[in-house]
Structure 1
Amino acid sequence: MNKFHGTGVALVTPFKADGSVDFEGLKNLINYLVDGKVEYLVSLGTTGEASTLNKDEKKKIWKFTAEINNGRLPLVAGIGGNDTLAIAKDMKEFDTEGYHAILSASPYYNKPTQEGIYQHYKLLSESSSLPIFLYNVPGRTGSNMSSDTTCRLANDFKNIIGMKEASGNFDQFNQIMRDKPKEFLLISGDDPVALPMISLGAVGVISVIGNAMPQQLSAMVRLCLKGDYAAALPLHLNLIEFTRLMFAEGNPAGAKAALKHFGVCEDHLRLPLVKVSQSLRQQIITESDRITNYNIL
């Protein structure tokens, strides 16, 4: 099986109460996810609060993550932004030791045209020594990468190997699956639609809820990839309320609240993000306990 088939987890970045990076918490999280049998890890995506980390902090987190992982799982680094030349420079300077690919979100805020998005990724493709995953998340970037642009990039650049698709647009998913090169990997960028996307031909999910529920989610995804949707569906349905709670007051506040409950790391965030409300925290605790007592086998 391809190393990027299955469940990838977009790691949260644990912080201490003073706002500094909690490396012990990050170590706990990595080990928790390895033990939870996920297929790969993504370091410093949106869920990792990368936008609030400076360059030195990012370098330390990437290096530490590779050291703690120690080759146990494939690693993907999130390197993105809205300044194409700066991202290209970051990719050229990135220490690839221990990493297998880069995930790069379509530029946010600038709202480029489809040609602008194409030229952006063209330059990144030429700048990266690692394979690249496209990342389409219009709810955050303010612009959608069309299926035509996705497939154009997939056909033109061999080191653009796949896409995390979080548009929620099934017509777009259908067109990508129809027109993409056979080897190009379509990956769900939204936990709630991982099952139906895999039924269309996606190869898995890059998950938020997998931070807290790695065993439950990865078991469901593996069943889907085997084509056993009858067995996967109860696991999928069992996670629906938990998933809703994870995003009720923003990502990754919900995931961090669950991780604190499980004793993996604290739930501190960097402004402008804040912890979940007390009422939501209690709902997360209740649902977390219910799910952990559910027989996934």
Structure 2
Amino acid sequence: MTQKTSQGEDLLDQLTSDSRQTRQIARRRMIAEAVMNEGSMRIEDLTDRFGISLMTAHRDVDELVSRGLFRKTRGIVTAAATNLIESSEVYRSNRQSTEKKLIAEAAMQFVEPGQAIFFDDSTTVLQMAAHLPSKVPVTAITNSLTLMNALKGMHDVTLLALGGQYYNWCNAFMGRMTINEIRGLRADVAFISMSAISDGTVLHQSPETVDTKRAMFDCSVKRILLADHTKFERRALHSFAALDEFDVVIVDDKTQPAHIDRMRSRDINVVIARGAGGRS
């Protein structure tokens, strides 16, 4: 009788543990969705919303931070970008997705079969992967692990995967090793997107991102910037390049006319990506 009771208690403990883990996973998913929807939240507010202790809230947030989804600073968990910190790839991939797809489609007019192409780790450039089969054969060079996985096994796409130090927040490789690999290559075109454009300058929060993408920029014959309307008049700490250093700037049709006119007055080739395949 004692043995049966012990077995029953063990089973109950296991079921309780499994149930607790299931609730924990579900709660963390809801916390992630809440932070992504709002951009940032006070950790204290999570305790009220989800009926958990402050210690549990911090544990949940720490787990999400360890996965590269968010940043935690002074009691605030942040998904949105700031002047100093770029948002995670997961957060960025869910923002302006329609505009990014249109911009990526417009960018394909600058891809020709036989080219060697640098693709950066941005979520806008990532959208180009779906269109590449129509332009093969091409050689795709990227530091983005997400893009590597999207392109691996794609027929007639030669994939050159850049290694180096892995950065969880952008799911990409950057740094000195990556830059050294890039400098040993020459590409026909580089497709680049950054987080901010202000006063005619393209900027980013991460110096590693700036240095890695600048190497791609310098090692390409043609440089093309992909920028949705939210990038204009944003600010970031590190300067990447002047807008007029790019051969082409592709924007969406929600970009303010003043920004477009200002670029064209500087003889910048601006392409406006529109719905239903339209562009100008």
Q: Bigger relative contact order, structure 1 or 2, given CA contacts below 8 A and separation 6+? A: 1
Higher strand share: 2
Computing the radius of gyration from Cα coordinates, the structure with the larger value is 2
**TM-score, normalization by structure 1:** 0.31
**TM-score, normalization by structure 2:** 0.32
